[in-house]
Amino acid sequence: MDKIYIPLALCLLMTLLLSSPEVVKGSVLSKKSNKGEEIVVIPPPPKGRDSFYDPQMDYSKFYGRVTDRDATSTIFKVKCENGNIKFLRAGDPLKFRVNNTDTGVCDASVRDVEGNQYLTIYVRNLQSCWKGEGYFRRGSQLNFWGPIMSKRVREASHFRKMLLQRKENFYHQLNEVNNFLASYNLRRVQAAAKYDQDILRLKKEKERALKLILTKREDYYVLQQELKKQTDKFDLDLEHYRVEPVELFADRWQMDHDLGLPVQVRPQ
- Distance in angstroms (rounded) separating the CA atoms of residues 185 and 32: 12
Residue 93 resides in a domain: yes
Residue 248 resides in a domain: no
**β-sheet bridge partners, residue 109:** 93, 122
CATH number reported for the structural domain that contains residue 129 in this entry: 2.40.30.170
Which is more confidently placed, 84 or 27?
Answer: 84
Q: Is the pLDDT of residue 31 over 90?
A: no
Predicted pLDDT at 246: 65
Residue 82 resides in a domain: yes
User: How far is CA 120 from each of CA 66, 160, 187, 256, rounded to the nearest angstrom?
Assistant: 10, 25, 59, 155
Residue 122 resides in a domain: yes
Residue 102 resides in a domain: yes
Q: Is the pLDDT of residue 73 over 60?
A: yes
> Considering the chain, what percentage of its residues have pLDDT values greater than 70?
74
| Nearest by Cα to 127 from 145, 103, 100 | 103
- Distance in angstroms (rounded) separating the CA atoms of residues 108 and 98: 13
Q: How many domains does one find in the chain?
A: 1
Residue 53 resides in a domain: no
> What range defines the domain where residue 85 resides?
61-145
- Distance in angstroms (rounded) separating the CA atoms of residues 109 and 41: 45
Q: How does residue 20 score in pLDDT terms, banded at 50, 70 and 90?
A: very low
Predicted pLDDT at 74: 86
Q: What is the largest CA-CA distance in the chain?
A: 184
Residue 73 resides in a domain: yes
Max mean pLDDT among 23-27, 49-53, 246-250 falls in 49-53
Residue 110 resides in a domain: yes
Label residues 17-28 b or e (16+ Cβ within 10 Å = b). Answer: bbeeeebeebee
